[in-house]
A and B are shown apart, each in its own frame.
Chain A
Amino acid sequence: MEKSPHILILDDEPIVGKRLKPALEKFGCHVEVFEDGKKALERFNEKHFDIVVTDVRMEEVDGLQVLEQVKAKSENTKVIIITGYATIEVAREALIKGAFDFIAKPFKPNDLRVIIERAAKSLGYNDFSVKG
C-alpha cells in the first residue's frame, strides 16, 4: 500500500484549496483541489480518492450531495465536511449520511490534518502521520 492517502479537496472559495494543498502535500499526501462540485465529481469518477474534504455550502452542488454521491460510488472513501456555520443540524445530517467527521471554519490546517490522519489510519495507512 502507498504510504500516503490521495485526497480531493472541494471548496468554492479558492483560498481554502490554496491554503490546504501545501499544508497536506508537506506530509506527502497527493492532493487535488476543485472549486466546482460537478468537476470534482467527474474527477472522482475517474480516479479513486481515499479522502474527500468538502465544504458544505456551495452554490451548484452542496457538500451533502457530494457526500451522498461519493459514498454511493465508494463506500470506503472517507468524507470530511467543512462548514462555515457550525450548526448541530448540519453536523448531524452529515454524520447520519456517512461523513467521517466535520470541522468548522475558521480552523487551523493542523486541526484538519489530525482528522485526516485518523481517516487515513482507518483506511490502513498505518505509517501516515502528521507529526514532524
Chain B
Amino acid sequence: MQGMNEFKPKIVAFCCNWCSYAGADLAGTNRLNYPADVKIIRVPCSCRVNPLFILRAFQRGADGVILCGCHPGDCHYTTGNYYARRRMTLLFSMLDYLGIEKERTRVEWVSAAEGAKFAATMNDFVATVTKLGENKRLEDLRCKQQ
C-alpha cells in the first residue's frame, strides 16, 4: 500500500484525436494499467498544441507534460505532426537552456493500434517524473492548492 506522503506526480497528456486518444482508449479496453494521475486532454492534432499550452499546464500544477500524436507520416491532416515535432524540439531545448528539467516534457508517437505502447509510455513517463519530484522551477505558487 502506498504511503500518504508519497509523491504522486500530476501529468498532463495532450493526445491527438485520431491516433493517440484512440490508443488510450485501446489501452483502456485492453485493461492495461497506467496511473490515474495522467490527465488526458484531447486535441484535434498534435500541432494544435502550442508552447503556451505546455507552460500553462505547468502553471496549473502539472509536474510533467507529454504530447502524443500520430506517427510521422500518419498524420490525419498529413503534415501536422511534422510541425509539432519541430516546435516541441525547439521548446524543450529552450526549457533545458533555462535550467528546467528536460525530462518533465516528452513527445511520443502513439497510433490507434498501440494501446500497449500508450500504457507503457505513460508508466515510464510517470516513473521518470516521480523520480524528479515536484515541479519547482516552472511552478506558479498561486495555483498550488493550499
* A, B bound: no
The chain A residues found within 8 Å of chain B, CB to CB, are none
The chain B residues found within 8 Å of chain A, CB to CB, are none
